[in-house]
Copies of this chain bind each other. A is one copy, B any other.
Amino acid sequence: MSDSVNKNRVEVCFAPCDFHQYEEGFDLVVVIDVLRATSAICTAIEHGVKGIIPVATLDEARELQKEGYIVAAERNGAVVEGFDLGNSPYSYMNPELKGKTVALTTTNGTKAIRIAEQKKTVVIGSLNNLTSLCNWLVEQKRDVLVLASGWKDKFNLEDTICGGAITDMLIQSGQFISDEDSSVAAKFIYRSAKENMFAYLKASSHRRRLRALDLNADVSYCLTPNNVCAIPILKDGILVPLNEVAEKV
């Protein structure tokens, strides 16, 4: 395969439980949870939130709340009782959060971030920051593993579409190849979904879940590519704007 010489790999891992099968050799991971954790994180950083502390459990979230942090907590699509914020991207546009650090725990996304944090570089992806993220990834000249958060460790459609979008864009740059069937499938799924993702996801289990919670506006927002430029990056356990950390990550 002479055309693969000097190219980097981009691969998609469908769920955190599969991470151990895919992570070998990668030190740059993109975590995605399109509905809605990573879309909310990208939006928060874009709108001036200083940092997001990803927290895996509600107990940890309550501890940070006691310490005085603003704490956001979502489970099964709803804000958890006792917390002010969930993971609706719109709630992170609130000017009162500007310059503040927020702790966040969600059903899937924050757990995936914690699983990825053993790696040298962890950045946050979504359809919202797709082009800006991919442009940056191309510049890095490193292998890229996209970790989909899935739904309770199961494959989900919306994260796969986003992983496929990243894969497609990186391969089109001419700098990347994919080896894994999961990455090839994600790219195929993205290509057949991209003209009308909202309709394509009609059958998705999580969209049905959010529709029952009357969150269609959130879904529309999360499925809109390139409405933010921010690339959140994990630095000492906190997600901060990429442009605020050292040039070489």
Give the number of times this chain occurs in the complex, counting copies: 2
B182 and A185 form a contact (CB under 8 A): no
> In whole angstroms, what is the CA distance A192 to B190 when docked?
12
**Chain A residues with a Cβ under 8 A of chain B:** 14, 17-18, 21-22, 151, 153-157, 160, 178-182, 184-185, 188-189, 192-193, 203-206
Q: Which residues does chain B contribute within 8 Å of A155, judged by CB atoms?
A: 14, 18, 180-182, 185
Most buried by B among A157, A178, A184: A184
A180 CB → nearest B CB, Å: 7
Instruction: List 23 A-B pairs, Cβ < 8 Å.
Output: A14-B14, A14-B155, A17-B18, A18-B154, A21-B153, A21-B154, A154-B180, A154-B181, A154-B182, A155-B180, A155-B181, A155-B182, A157-B181, A160-B181, A178-B203, A179-B205, A180-B205, A181-B205, A181-B206, A185-B189, A188-B192, A189-B189, A192-B192
